[in-house]
Structure 1
Amino acid sequence: MPSEIQPPSHGDHLTLSYPADHVLLLTMNRPKQLNAMTPSLSKDIGRVLSWFDDEPTLWCAIINGAGRAFCAGADLKAQVWKADQEGGQKDESEQIATSPHGFASVSRRSISSKPIIAAVHGMAFGGGLEMVVNCDIVIAGASCKLGFPEVKRGVTIAQGAIPRVAFISGFQFASELMFTGRTISSQEAQDRFRFVNKVVPDNEVLPTAIAWAKEITQNSPDSVASVKKAIILAKQAAGIEQSTLNHAYSVENKRLFNGENIQEGLKAFSERRPPAWKNPAKL
């Protein structure tokens, strides 16, 4: 771990590493349970991602899973145990409304201005796939299986994936995938449903994700943050003009134009040399 940064405390079900300069790797570490999500793991991921958002030396994050799967969805046993401990399950609508970042603190996360890459292998089902489709870039293994089986279980897809997949894939493709509960391949996810950026051999998933993170961190972190903010606003706003105006007045855009990296990028271009980016100022 770089000596200058100190991540928040977290359980053994989540491991952190730094595979390249400015890159944080979060690995869900419940391999025997196929990284099924528990309330405590979700809280730890959320705590680490909030720290990542504020840590100026980290510019890009990768999320993956240990063992044979990315994430098989929610750990239903852990949810039942939690309900027993708390004297009953909360109303589902209340749970969704009071969980602003969604499944695993990822599936509805829209506050981060830093890129998050999903490195997906094995399988991602239910909430696990809701995490994947909300990441900025998705690298998937060739044998990976993906799906939203909620309708087969009598439950629903509630943590942000429905509007996200409809936005990416189109309403008819989203309906096909979610009405049927069908399992699809990573190649289908790339070619038809368009929420996978690249399919690679299974043993190349993480190296490819790290290579893409390195490529991203060769660019100005201020510029990348500004662009990500614009993409988020495009999903939220009613039209092109309003999202453009919201982006213009965003704190990420103001930091870009008032920061040192914009001057460094232009100067490096004129001097025909690689730019030397600085850590962005805290927002």
Structure 2
Amino acid sequence: MSPTLNPPAVSGQLLVSFPKEHVLQLTLNRPKSLNASTPQMMDDVRKVLNWFEDEPSLWVVIITGSGRAFCAGADLKAWNQDEQRGQPNTAESIVSNIYGFASISRRESKKPFIAAVNGHSFGGGTELVLNCDLVVASKDANFGLPEVKRGVVAIQGGIPRLARIAGHQLASEMLLLGKTITADDARNRFGFVNVVVPPTDVLPTALDLASQIIANSPDSVQSTKKGLLLTYKHNNESMVSEHVRTPESAGYMLGDNIKEGLRAFNEKRNPVWQNPGTKTKL
């Protein structure tokens, strides 16, 4: 880890690493519980990602799981205990949790998120995946939104994102039937997985995608990511005027990286990017 990086302290439920310059890796680390999320894990992820958002030298994050599962969703045993104690989830608690499941499923980050799905992904785990920009899945991974089988609802981001990506009828297969699908189906029919690879290739492939991202201008990438988020919200071209006024677009148009990219093209060399927002003082 670079001596300049100082991430917040977390519990053993989350592993924080830096596999490559400009890349953060978060590994959900409750393998015996299939990486089911707990309040502690959610708090750990929230703290690290909030720090990541403001750390200019980190440009992309990879999220994966330890053991044989990616994430089995919420810890239903703990959830049941809360219900039995008369402490149910409420509409207010869901709305106030602005980042969604595991502090990711409704997070609107300007930086790219890559899901490295090393094993099964269910419930909130799949909602988390649906909010990532690129998804690499092990060929033996399965995806499910089985909330209706447990009397709950995929309300942390799964419903609108899956419906937008897959369309109403296909989304209904997962959401109304609680159907589990394979990684190949997630890629070929439902459209929310980019690459399916052997289990040993999941992390290397995710890291390769991260490398391809960081080969590009971080200002351009973050402005483009903002445009994708605005398009998702508006679903039309009216987002253009809003997009060009964002801080990310201002950084892209006025920063050093646009000058470097154009200069490198004319000089027939690879560009050397600076951290986003860098502006040389004259």
TM-score tier (shorter) = over 0.9
Which residue of structure 2 lines up, in the alignment, with residue 281 of structure 1? Answer: 277
Which residue of structure 2 lines up, in the alignment, with residue 167 of structure 1? Answer: 164
CA contact (8 A) 1:116 1:136 kept: yes
Q: How far apart, CA to CA, are the structure 2 residues paired with 1:42 and 1:71?
A: 12
Q: How far apart, CA to CA, are the structure 1 residues paired with 2:173 and 2:179?
A: 8
After TM superposition, give the deviation of residue 109 of structure 1 in Å. Answer: 0.6
Q: Secondary structure at the match of 1:17?
A: strand
CA contact (8 A) 1:147 1:177 kept: yes
After TM superposition, give the deviation of residue 102 of structure 1 in Å. Answer: 0.3
Which residue of structure 1 lines up, in the alignment, with residue 40 of structure 2? Answer: 40
After TM superposition, give the deviation of residue 281 of structure 1 in Å. Answer: 2.8
**Deviates most, 244-253 or 184-193:** 244-253
What are the within-5 Å matches in structure 2 for residues 2-151 of structure 1? Answer: 2-80=2-80, 88-110=86-108, 112-151=109-148
After TM superposition, give the deviation of residue 274 of structure 1 in Å. Answer: 0.5
CA contact (8 A) 1:117 1:138 kept: yes
Which residue of structure 1 lines up, in the alignment, with residue 219 of structure 2? Answer: 222
Q: Secondary structure at the match of 1:27?
A: strand
CA contact (8 A) 1:141 1:202 kept: yes
One-letter amino acid of the counterpart of residue 212, structure 1: L
After TM superposition, give the deviation of residue 53 of structure 1 in Å. Answer: 0.6
Change (3 A) 1:58 1:198: same
CA contact (8 A) 1:140 1:186 kept: yes
Higher relative contact order (CA 8 A, sep 6+): 1
One-letter amino acid of the counterpart of residue 94, structure 2: I
Residue among 257, 261, 266 paired with 2:262: 266
Q: How far apart, CA to CA, are the structure 2 residues paired with 1:63 and 1:53?
A: 15
Q: For structure 1, which runs of at least 5 residues remain unmatched after alignment?
A: none
Give the length in aligned residue pairs.
278
Which residue of structure 2 lines up, in the alignment, with residue 199 of structure 1? Answer: 196
Q: Secondary structure at the match of 2:175?
A: helix
Q: How far apart, CA to CA, are the structure 2 residues paired with 1:91 and 1:204?
A: 38
CA contact (8 A) 2:82 2:88 kept: no
**Deviates most, 16-25 or 73-82:** 73-82
Q: How far apart, CA to CA, are the structure 2 residues paired with 1:51 and 1:235?
A: 25
Q: Secondary structure at the match of 2:10?
A: coil
After TM superposition, give the deviation of residue 92 of structure 1 in Å. Answer: 2.2
Q: For structure 2, which runs of at least 5 residues remain unmatched after alignment?
A: none
CA contact (8 A) 1:39 1:78 kept: no
CA contact (8 A) 1:264 1:275 kept: yes
Q: How far apart, CA to CA, are the structure 1 residues paired with 2:246 and 2:141?
A: 38
CA contact (8 A) 1:39 1:79 kept: no
One-letter amino acid of the counterpart of residue 56, structure 1: P
Q: Secondary structure at the match of 2:71?
A: coil
Q: TM-score, normalised by structure 2?
A: 0.95
CA contact (8 A) 2:113 2:134 kept: yes
One-letter amino acid of the counterpart of residue 163, structure 2: A
Q: Percent identity?
A: 50
One-letter amino acid of the counterpart of residue 202, structure 2: V
Residue among 138, 155, 175 paired with 1:158: 155
Change (3 A) 1:184 1:169: same
One-letter amino acid of the counterpart of residue 255, structure 1: G
CA contact (8 A) 2:143 2:180 kept: yes
After TM superposition, give the deviation of residue 9 of structure 1 in Å. Answer: 1.1
One-letter amino acid of the counterpart of residue 272, structure 1: K
CA contact (8 A) 2:111 2:225 kept: yes
One-letter amino acid of the counterpart of residue 204, structure 1: D
After TM superposition, give the deviation of residue 91 of structure 1 in Å. Answer: 4.6
**Deviates most, 263-272 or 172-181:** 172-181
Deviations 1:8-57 (Å, cap 9, x if unpaired)?
A: 11101101111111000000111111000001100110110111110011
Q: How far apart, CA to CA, are the structure 1 residues paired with 2:264 and 2:129?
A: 36
Q: TM-score, normalised by structure 1?
A: 0.95
Q: How far apart, CA to CA, are the structure 2 residues paired with 1:190 and 1:221?
A: 27
Q: Secondary structure at the match of 2:176?
A: helix
One-letter amino acid of the counterpart of residue 275, structure 2: N
**Deviates most, 90-99 or 157-166:** 90-99
